[in-house]
Amino acid sequence: MEAPPLHSVVREVTLPDGVRLPELLPRLTPTGCWIRRGEGIVGLGVADGATASGSQRFVELSRWWEERRAVVEEAPRPAALEQIPGCGPTVFTSVTYSSDSAHASHLTLPEVILGDVAGHTWVTVTTVDADDAVAAVLARHGLALGADGALTLVDDARDSPEFPATRLRAGAHPTEHYLDAVAAGVEAIEERRLEKLVLGRDAVVEAEAPMPRGVILAGLVRDYTDCWTYLAGDLLGTTPEMLVTVRGRDLAARVLAGTVDGSLSAAEAREQLLDDVKQRSEHEIAVQSLLAQLAPVVELISAQNPPAVLALPNVHHLSTDVTGRLSRTADGTLPPALTVAERAHPTAAICGTPTATAAELIAALEQLDRGPFTGPVGWIDAHGNADVGIALRGGLLGAHDRSVRLFAGCGIVAGSDPESELAETRAKLRPMLGVLGVED
């Protein structure tokens, strides 16, 4: 049975009281989010969606979106919004790190998307029912649109919900397990079985009541302006690393590898990152890995050299921006964004080198199902534009949003010290722990 066509309408709007989109987040119940430096998109409700598992998860999700976007009946959009990526029908996606994960990979097409990009604000309404009026859809999400294009919250007196009390508990394994895993990883590297290995650990935050997603996201947007704050399905966080950005034929990525604590001054961080052989080696492995993996889908690609130092509130990273131009396929089309993301995943920054050896050792030493953590996360619009980051500095919400399983990992290379790597995971947990009101 063929899926029914989708109907989409885009309207220019002004946001309530002239505020920016991040300021609305605490009063919304998002099903998708992608915001950086105050700009981005937020999804509300679900108009349609798909899940997939196993080794064909990228292919199945990409095929579903290709088929669904082909039957979208779009009303003419305002001229000022025609060229803005993420405007119009757009899906949020999260894909599992591993093909054998027990978790599913997702595409979610929201009923409503609020956009705030490059000085333009809009609302996209997408429905299966052509008779479902824009006003009725917005009302389901506590919104109303005036004749002058002013968007308002129906319950204007509603305050941001209170955040419940939370507590931190251990994850699947005690910290000693992580120390032993790092030591075993270093030993494998010294035996020349591989060059680099990325090992993670988890922790769980539990709450006395459901944690409001909008409040969590607003806190991350506020505290980590230079990161991409994301929500896709039950996965949320704020990542500093872009797997692939696609704009027509143009491709971009950001590679992060090599980390020191955020308490260091900018000068100290630069010295420890740029002059340290271990840090530079770890970073170069990650950059070369990405360039090699993307080679089959690009005709041009280049990497920034030397790397820069990215300063975040919790850590400093070595950072390299990559740019390229996609190759056309045999039939003259461009590869779908999820195909490009699949080529790039997993990077050495979240797996290791060689990839197959590192992946096998990760499974043996971590003894965790990462689920969507370190997997691709982001959005894809109906024209093939996409932002797909790596799901870092985040976690997976549990039943009724009363818990969130957090993850953090480190790149292990020759000379890595287990205690130092454990300390680095604590620094990487800070973004989520801070907005959840707990300390490690």
DSSP label of 209: S
Q: What is the pLDDT of residues 72-82, one digit of tens each?
A: 898 888 999 99
Q: What is the pLDDT of residues 113-158, one digit of tens each?
A: 999 999 999 999 999 887 778 899 999 999 999 988 899 988 754 5
Q: By mean pLDDT, which of 156-160, 181-185, 213-217 is the weakest?
A: 156-160
Q: Is the pLDDT of residue 440 over 80?
A: no
Q: What is the pLDDT of residues 308-327, one digit of tens each?
A: 998 888 888 889 999 999 99
CB atoms within 10 A of CB 310: 20
332 Rama class: left (phi>0) / alpha (psi -120 to 50) / beta? left
Q: Give how far Cα 215 sits from Cα of 221, 334, 337, 437, Å.
A: 10, 38, 30, 12
The torsion angles phi and psi of 94, rounded to 5 degrees, stand at: -140, 135
Report the residue count for the chain.
Answer: 440
The tally of CA atoms less than 13 A away on the side-chain side of residue 205 is 28
Q: What is the mean pLDDT of residues 105-109?
A: 98
- CA-nearest of 238, 204, 246, 234 to 344 is 246
Q: What is the pLDDT of residues 46-55, one digit of tens each?
A: 999 999 999 9
239 token code pair: 């990542």
Reported pTM: 0.94
Q: What pLDDT, on a 0 to 100 scale, did the predictor assign at position 156?
A: 52
Which range, 2-6, 28-32, 158-162, is most confident? 28-32
Q: What is the pLDDT of residues 384-393, one digit of tens each?
A: 999 999 999 9
- CA-nearest of 322, 291, 321 to 309 is 321
CA 197 to chain centre: 21
Q: Which CATH architecture has domain 166-228+240-436?
A: 4-Layer Sandwich (3.60)
The tally of CA atoms less than 13 A away on the side-chain side of residue 401 is 18
CB atoms within 10 A of CB 211: 24
CA distance 67 to 5: 10
Give the CA angle between residues 7, 8, 10 to the nearest 5°.
160
CA 186 to chain centre: 29
Q: What is the pLDDT of residues 200-210, one digit of tens each?
A: 999 999 999 99
Binning pLDDT at 50, 70 and 90, where does residue 296 land?
very high
What are the residue boundaries of the structural domains of the chain, listed by start?
Answer: 6-153, 166-228+240-436
Strands 6-12 and 72-74: parallel
